[in-house]
Structure 1
């Protein structure tokens, strides 16, 4: 990683950094071990030209003291459950990531440190799950929901959902078609089912298509995909719209206004209009200027570009480094506040911003 900052900036030594290697993205695969950051203060600003004044090692842990990590291989469900310390019972959340697949645990492990029982759920490209997202069967997610609700440490009768990108529209489908979901948080999500058709008990929702001829190549050589997606308000693409008005609980949309993966701001507006047209409450929408697609927990270096998991091409996700870093700090707090409010759980003692 590399970068710079000036003045007083919390975690300035890591927040606005960018990967030195092309198209790298810093993620945490093993949440049971900390990130270890070596800090050095040099006499001068050249990396190799100053006298060493001080050195320190900082560890960033992803599991708060007492948080338990429980691998889940129950029926078809492939997941990891993170439980807060204490006897419980705790409000439950299902956490879904996007089209990269696999099992991402770092967001769930951090949330568990704030009093939530969080199920990090894989749905493809992990162990014996499908390698490719060719279709989606909502019964799999229904099975995961049932597992979480029956767990003795989880406080029912409802749970919350947290989804990013493709995981966001899956959360919308879960909220629309499944029971026992009380609140849903979406991070740069689409209001239509994307990428692959979705099936549930004889119902099918086609995936929103795209027109790759509308992709743009930037001067850097990266692809800009923001205009490739079909308009879900136009025929025949309206069939891909998710009937989110069927959901029982409130929504929070986290929107990066510089999202270049797709038009998250427009999708949030569509969701708002659709809910109000059906007599539902207006969703909470938080807009973050100069913020791109990949909104992580605080102090992860902004991911502005990487190789797209579906297209296999180098794509631009958007965002200005410092603005995106600030957005990640605020969005993380807003997500916790929203879940605390609607999952009916008393606020635990505040430990840290992460």
Structure 2
């Protein structure tokens, strides 16, 4: 009987969709090694492997068969994806072109490490970022630069603006996946993209106000307000938007600061200074990575409290996603400050979800946890924190929590839509 390696759904799936990996035609109890690999748009190679034993019927099902070692151990049906590691150290797996899938190669080899034997079976599987019927529209409207993703079917759809952190550029992969769950999502760039500023020196909230207006005037975006999702520096920008701009409700903050960071923020006659940092407090790990968790000034002390975003004006509700091992800044501390200040001004208590063993970079499900990488602006290797297995589980749960939150507060639904491809 020929050995067959199978991935279900067959051929292709969405990146945030779990798959079932199995093999058949093996001998009872046969020792085998499964290897996964993919190349990103820059030809960087990422690989993972795990050792298994076939069951009494000569079958292998990763949903039932625990890995005996390798890149991970135990029952991990999606381990061959979340455990992918770069051949070149400190390279982060990111999706730069959501119009093209990642192609994952799976190989089944005879025996276990250190020297698995002959190739028994092989298959390719495409992991897509645009669901069926999801439309991608580049946005060059006035000063606004970004990409709008629209779900299939007739709108209008609940709208979300998506902001990433201090790496700059335009990141589309979270927005494209969210659009597959029924939202019109604007992936918004704010520096290091096209004719936008090259550096984070001064930020003007008017730019983000123009983006909100663009969304609310779009015929396929359902008003009277839009939601926000922001990661890292994008998170404190979302807090500022919620505090000063109209037409906003439902804000998701992923490892965000309660103060304005990295650049002064200007709006009309108001200026919120940068929280600032003391770079002498940076640490270097045993692996030679930079750790910035202690460099930031304390937003509860003068004069740094002038950088705290005035949450008495903020429009909620809020969902804080917090990695308890965030080594970029003290996200747990900032979330508690935000919660206290919101409630002190008569606002509803925000929802805060804490994830143990989870670092700074919380991505959609099945992205390999980025525990450290070379920062695109600093050009240096930075430690972000997290433990791979715990971080991977957090990404799956946080993704569901984000969808549920937005469906409830933007769409009046409590269920989570699932996309198929």
- Taking the aligned partners of 2:79 and 2:147, their CA distance within structure 1 comes to 32
Corresponding residue number in structure 1 for 2:274: 207
Q: How many residues align?
A: 354
Where do 1:133-144 residues align within 5 Å?
Answer: 133-144=200-211
Corresponding residue number in structure 1 for 2:313: 246
* Partner SS, residue 142 of structure 1: helix
- Taking the aligned partners of 1:5 and 1:239, their CA distance within structure 2 comes to 46
Is 2:153 the partner of 1:108?
A: no
- Taking the aligned partners of 2:261 and 2:420, their CA distance within structure 1 comes to 33
CA deviations on 1:213-238 (whole Å, 9 max, x unpaired) are 11111110001110000000100000
Corresponding residue number in structure 2 for 1:158: 225
Q: 342-351 or 64-73: which moved more?
A: 342-351
Task: Please list every run of 5 or more consecutive structure 1 residues that lacks an aligned counterpart in the other structure.
Answer: none
CA deviations on 1:133-188 (whole Å, 9 max, x unpaired) are 11100000000110011000000000000000000000000000000101100000
Match of 1:290 among 357, 368, 371: 357
- Residue 352 of structure 1 deviates from its aligned partner by 5.1
Corresponding residue number in structure 2 for 1:149: 216
Match of 1:27 among 81, 94, 103: 94
Corresponding residue number in structure 1 for 2:106: 39
Match of 1:93 among 155, 160, 177: 160
Q: 40-49 or 211-220: which moved more?
A: 40-49
- Taking the aligned partners of 1:349 and 1:228, their CA distance within structure 2 comes to 39
TM-score by length of 2: 0.82
Q: 1:349 to 1:246 in 2, by over 3 A?
A: closer
Corresponding residue number in structure 1 for 2:184: 117
CA deviations on 1:67-125 (whole Å, 9 max, x unpaired) are 00000001111010000001111000000000000000000000000000000000000
Is 2:150 the partner of 1:83?
A: yes
More strand, by proportion? 2
Corresponding residue number in structure 2 for 1:55: 122
**Larger RCO (CA under 8 A, 6+ residues apart):** 1
Match of 1:130 among 197, 206, 213: 197
CA deviations on 1:198-251 (whole Å, 9 max, x unpaired) are 000010000111001111111100011100000001000000000123122210
- Taking the aligned partners of 2:325 and 2:291, their CA distance within structure 1 comes to 12
Match of 1:2 among 47, 54, 66: 47
TM-score by length of 1: 0.97
Q: 1:349 to 1:237 in 2, by over 3 A?
A: closer
Corresponding residue number in structure 2 for 1:262: 329
Corresponding residue number in structure 1 for 2:131: 64
* Partner SS, residue 265 of structure 1: helix
Is 2:227 the partner of 1:182?
A: no
Whether the 8 Å CA contact 1:114–1:348 is kept in 2: the answer is no
Q: 1:239 to 1:349 in 2, by over 3 A?
A: closer
Structure number with bigger Rg: 2
Task: Please list every run of 5 or more consecutive structure 2 residues that lacks an aligned counterpart in the other structure.
Answer: 1-45, 49-70
